[in-house]
Amino acid sequence: MSGSDPQHSESLPKERAGERWLTRSVLGFGLASFLSDLGHEAATAALPALLVAIGGAPAALGFIEGVADGLSSFAKLAGGWLSDRPRRRKPIAVGGYLVTGLSTGAFALATVWQHVQITRSIGWVARGLRGPARDAMLADAVPAAARGRAFGFHRAMDSAGAALGPAVAAILITVIPVREIFWWSVVPGVLSAVAFAAFVQRDESPGTADPQPFWTSLGALPARFRSLLASVFVFGLGDFARTLLILRASQLLTPSLGAPAANAAAMSMYAVHNVLYSVASYPVGWIADRVAPQRLLVVGYFLGAATAFLAAAATASWWMIGSLFVVAGLTLAFEDTLEGTLTAREVPPELRGTGYGVLATTNGIADLVSSALVGVLWSAVGPGTAFGVAGGLCLTGAVLLTRLR
């Protein structure tokens, strides 16, 4: 596996003297993601408890997450192509943050799991549309030599909100009804849109007002990038939604703790998962600015396989469940930081929106299959088989990535 690609002159560029990467806009990207994840991750952490209350099974949770991720993936594809028009990026991002924030509050009105499916899907479509626009703006807002740090900082802020959200939910669920947590989650969700609008400067990157037609843009993506997407897709087929880990932990702990305490404990461990995700993201990005990011991503993919195998073998041991959430958090730090960094390296600026859209769509389609597959196998056969199959797919994706030259 090569550490650099001679066909891409900006793979490892030197940062020009005096250029800063931690600007007002970069802080705005981070603050918006922090607030958004604070809201929707609090709702995500409380979602398994709500589904149990309204009679939803593990298969329902897997189906909800899989369908929402699938719809989001197609929204990301469209959003990526639209984001090749730089002037549209900021409005798309602000609107996406706002709709995602409002949709989480609607969980409070659900009486059957299908209601959750509808509102989750609406929120995730908006999230999908905003993602490529935000990532293309971030890639163009910093020197090329600092993209690993910029994406690492962004993921750290994002995951800091994702860590605080479940922690707040774990506290709130002991003092208020679970439905009220979803109403609370609207506040940081709306503030995320305000932060993006106020802090992030309008994109002045070298896009065109009238970019190529959709299929032409897809066909123009570099061959090496398309090969990278194949590894991303296979790994993603085993990269199930983290709500399934929360459900796994709560079910294992319920016999000894009772359902309320087990739910709170599972949410707390998910918060620890997100803390590790946050803390590790910037160091991973910092290292990626100095070595080949592809090599680091292989490490992350092997951690993903370990996550699934630990979930398959998990018992009610606190040590084992804690280890599961630790490895899962580290996996996301590698995966999210490095896939974004590699896309910026491999895709030219005029196609960067499309590139991020295709990356997100690839992940989203794989997530649809993965979450639904794990949920169905769990209900039909058992969690050991479900997570074991996921681990095998993650391992295959890691091996494919090692063979990418």
List the domain range (segments joined by +) for residue 354.
Answer: 24-203+221-402
Q: What is the pLDDT of residues 297-315, one digit of tens each?
A: 999 999 999 999 999 998 8
Please return the burial class of 249, using the count of CB atoms within 10 Å of its CB with bins 0-12, 13-18 and 19+.
Answer: buried
Give the CA-trace dihedral at 227, 231, 232, 237, to 10 degrees: 140
Q: Is the pLDDT of residue 5 over 80?
A: no
Q: What is the pLDDT of residues 218-241, one digit of tens each?
A: 788 888 898 899 999 999 999 988
**Secondary structure percentages of the chain, helix, strand, coil, to 5:** 80, 0, 20
In a domain, 358, yes or no: yes
Closest to 361 measured CA to CA, from 134, 86, 69: 69
Helices 24-53 and 243-257 pack at an angle, to 10 degrees, of: 50
Q: Whole-angstrom Cα distance, residue 5 to residue 238?
A: 29
In a domain, 5, yes or no: no
Give the CA-trace dihedral at 275, 278, 283, 289, to 10 degrees: 160
Residue 11 has a pLDDT of 38
Q: Is the pLDDT of residue 168 over 60?
A: yes
In a domain, 159, yes or no: yes
Q: Is the pLDDT of residue 207 over 70?
A: no
In a domain, 17, yes or no: no
Residue 210 has a pLDDT of 59
Which pair of tokens denotes residue 166?
A: 């479940």
pLDDT band at 8 (very low <50, low <70, confident <90, very high): very low
Question: What is the average pLDDT across 324-351?
Answer: 88
Residue 18 has a pLDDT of 43
In angstroms, the Cα distances linking 124 to 52, 91, 95, 158, 289 are 22, 17, 12, 16, 31
Residue 2 has a pLDDT of 36
pLDDT band at 113 (very low <50, low <70, confident <90, very high): confident
Query: Is the pTM value of this prediction over 0.95?
Result: no
Q: Give the number of other CB atoms < 10 A from CB of residue 29.
A: 27
CA torsion through residues 40, 45, 48, 54, sign: negative
In a domain, 19, yes or no: no
In a domain, 10, yes or no: no
Please return the burial class of 3, using the count of CB atoms within 10 Å of its CB with bins 0-12, 13-18 and 19+.
Answer: exposed
Q: Highest mean pLDDT range out of 46-60, 194-208, 299-313?
A: 299-313
Longest alpha-carbon distance in the chain:
61
Residue 291 has a pLDDT of 80
Contact predicate 360/128, CB 8 Å: yes
In a domain, 13, yes or no: no
Closest to 191 measured CA to CA, from 88, 87, 89, 94: 94
Q: Is the pLDDT of residue 9 over 70?
A: no
Between 178 and 301, the more confident residue is 301
* Element containing residue 368 per DSSP (H, E): helix 352-380
- Number of structural domains (the chain) is 1
- Residue 75 has what DSSP assignment? H
Q: Give the number of other CB atoms < 10 A from CB of residue 126.
A: 23
Contact predicate 165/42, CB 8 Å: yes
Which residues, at least 6 apart from 141, have a Cβ–Cβ distance to it below 8 Å? Answer: 23, 25, 26, 29, 150, 201, 203
Question: What is the average pLDDT across 189-209?
Answer: 79
Least confident piece of the model among 90-104, 182-196, 254-268: 254-268
Residue 386 has a pLDDT of 93
pLDDT band at 57 (very low <50, low <70, confident <90, very high): low
Amino acid letter for position 307: T
Contact predicate 145/341, CB 8 Å: no
Question: What is the average pLDDT across 46-73?
Answer: 77
Q: Whole-angstrom Cα distance, residue 356 to residue 362?
A: 10
Report the share of the chain in percent with pLDDT over 90.
26
Q: What string of DSSP letters covers 125-158?
A: HHHHHHHHHHHHHHHHTS-GGGHHHHHHHHHHHH
In a domain, 327, yes or no: yes
Q: How many helices (H) and strands (E) does the chain have?
A: 14, 0
Amino acid letter for position 82: L
Residue 397 has a pLDDT of 94
The CATH number that applies at residue 123 is: 1.20.1250.20
Question: What is the average pLDDT across 399-405?
Answer: 85
- 3 state DSSP class of 230: helix
